[in-house]
Amino acid sequence: MLSRLITRVGPYLLKTEADQPPFQSLTESILHQQVTGKAAAAILGRFRAEFGNGKAFPAPARIVGASDEHLRAVGISRSKAAALRDLAAKTIDGTVPTAKALHKMEDAEIIERLTEVRGVGVWTAHMLLMFRLGRPDVLPVGDYGVRKGFAQTFRTKAELPTPTELTKRGERWRPYRTVASWYLWRALELK
């Protein structure tokens, strides 16, 4: 079944943004949570303009001491403001590894470290592993799109697989579960 999906979709074209610092990647992930892409882009633009002078991405030191009012003025909710300040503090104290350090770490260690940050869960860590670090063997079993793509590809019913079911099936795809995930996302784009 996966082979048929691969044939229909075509070549694997996952693009990574490996040059982006972890603070920037995670900030963008937090700002994109529970809002449309358009709204997130607008907030991110205002955030960059206000805290990074519109040119460079804001430094963690600029954010750690920012008030709720200052962050809310650019459209960031109170909970996201708290998450961004925690991310900034944990970037400064080394809890969030540098890009260079991340490349040397195992996936499980990265997930453990990143999920210490408020507002960063396993899904966010998986996205960083896949789209920033280009790790080949990540299966985000909690991702709705991956689950829905799996249901479309492997099931006759519209019922989504549980994370446990997806984990079990994903063992067949080792060590290229990122590739399988990418194709499952593409399944949702097919007619």
Residues 104 and 156 grouped into a single domain: no
The answer to whether residues 144 and 109 belong to one domain is no
- The label of the residue with tokens 């995670």 reads 26
Residue 159 DSSP label: P
Query: Does one domain contain both 113 and 145?
Result: no
CATH code of the domain containing 113: 1.10.340.30
Tokens of 4: 């048929």
Check whether 103 has a pLDDT greater than 70: yes
Q: Which of 125, 86, 133, 91 is nearest to 108 (CA)?
A: 125
Residues 114 and 161 in one domain: no
Residue 156 pLDDT > 70, yes or no? no
Residues 90 and 159 in one domain: no
Which residues form the catalytic set?
A: 143
Tell me how far apart the alpha carbons of residues 23 and 88 are, in angstroms, rounded to a whole number: 7
The amino acid present at 188, given as its one-letter code, is: L
Mean pLDDT of the chain: 93
Across 35-60, average pLDDT: 90
What is the per-residue pLDDT for 56? 85
Exposed, middle or buried, 32 (CB in 10 Å: 0-12/13-18/19+)? middle
Residues 40, 119 within the same domain: yes
- Both tokens of 113, joined, read 């470290």
Report residue 131 as tokens: 């789209």
**Token pair 């954010």 is at which residue?**
63
Instruction: State whether 73 and 144 are in the same domain.
Output: no
Q: How confident is the model at residue 53 (pLDDT cuts 50, 70, 90)?
A: confident
Of the pLDDT bands very low, low, confident and very high (cuts 50, 70, 90), residue 37 is: confident
In tens, the pLDDT along 55-64 reads 789 999 999 9
Domain count, the chain: 2
Based on the fold, state whether residues 118 and 53 are members of the same structural domain: yes
Boundaries of domain holding 123: 22-131
Pairwise CA distance, residues 109 & 102, whole Å: 9
Is there a single domain that holds both residue 9 and residue 30?
no
